[in-house]
């Protein structure tokens, strides 16, 4: 099937399901598929617009909303618009945690933390507050806002709840990110928790970081 034909088929599925089963899981999945197609074409804004059609107001379930916000956060991060990216990733983390999708919620936490560690301020607004106070912007722009250390703590604890179940693997960027957070906000207990499992760790870069 030609690429344009695929896009038309995906759009037809969205329109059909919007007519017969609006807000259903299948309708949500069809929107996710169409958004992914737009993103693969480099049409980031069209992908974001499509993802915005997934919402609780339209009756979509929390898992679909969470996945849509994760994708929105990734797109915004890829174009450097980090403030809304962080909000979308945080909402995704909350949504996916609420429907017992721990692996997916940890992915959101990792991607949020990767952005958050770039700039930290003690008196920066918490993420929940930033989400409540968010307003539509007059014009698009590349924005950043420092993260609050307490939000970082919440994310790290969530990451460790899954990451420490099994610390093996030759590429453990999740644990490396936790070490970065431990140093950034002076929380030595996280590093200590990982050090206790050093005999199980296979990632040479992580072992080197633990010894530094």
pLDDT in tens, 74-89: 999 999 999 999 999 9
Residue intervals in the chain for CATH 1.25.40.10: 61-211
pLDDT in tens, 31-71: 999 999 999 999 999 999 999 999 999 999 999 999 999 99
pLDDT in tens, 110-150: 999 999 999 999 999 999 999 999 887 766 667 888 999 99
pLDDT score at 140: 60
pLDDT score at 4: 78
Predicted TM-score (pTM) above 0.85: yes
Q: What architecture does CATH give domain 61-211? A: Alpha Horseshoe (1.25)
Whether 89 contacts 67, CB under 8 Å: no
Q: Is the dihedral of CA 193, 198, 204, 210 positive or negative?
A: positive
135 SS3 class: coil
Looking at beta carbons, which pairs linking 175-180 to residues 24 or more positions away fall under 8 Å? Answer: 175/201, 175/203, 175/206, 176/203, 176/205, 176/206, 176/209, 177/110, 177/113, 177/114, 177/117, 179/206, 179/209, 179/210, 180/117
- Give 45's contacts (C-beta < 8 A, 6+ positions apart): none
- How far is residue 201's CA from residue 108's CA, in Å, rounded to a whole number? 23
């Amino acid at each position: 099937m030609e690429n344009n034909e695929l896009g038309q088929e995906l759009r037809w599925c969205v329109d059909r399901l919007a007519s017969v089963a609006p807000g259903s899981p299948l309708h949500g999945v069809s929107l996710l598929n169409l958004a992914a197609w737009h993103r693969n074409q480099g049409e980031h804004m069209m992908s974001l617009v499509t993802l915005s059609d997934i919402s609780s107001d339209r009756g979509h379930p929390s898992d679909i909303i969470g996945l849509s916000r994760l994708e929105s956060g990734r797109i915004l991060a890829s174009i450097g618009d980090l403030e809304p990216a962080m909000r979308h990733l945080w909402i995704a983390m909350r949504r996916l945690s609420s429907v017992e999708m721990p692996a997916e919620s940890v992915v959101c936490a990792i991607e949020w933390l990767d952005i958050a560690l770039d700039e930290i301020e003690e008196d920066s607004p918490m993420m929940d507050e930033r989400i409540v106070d968010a307003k539509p912007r007059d014009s698009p722009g590349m924005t950043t806002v420092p993260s609050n250390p307490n939000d970082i703590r919440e994310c790290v604890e969530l990451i460790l709840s899954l990451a420490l179940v099994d610390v093996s693997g030759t590429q453990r960027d999740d644990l490396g990110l936790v070490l970065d957070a431990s140093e950034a906000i002076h929380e030595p207990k996280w590093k200590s928790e990982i050090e206790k499992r050093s005999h199980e760790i296979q990632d040479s870069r992580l072992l080197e970081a633990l010894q530094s």
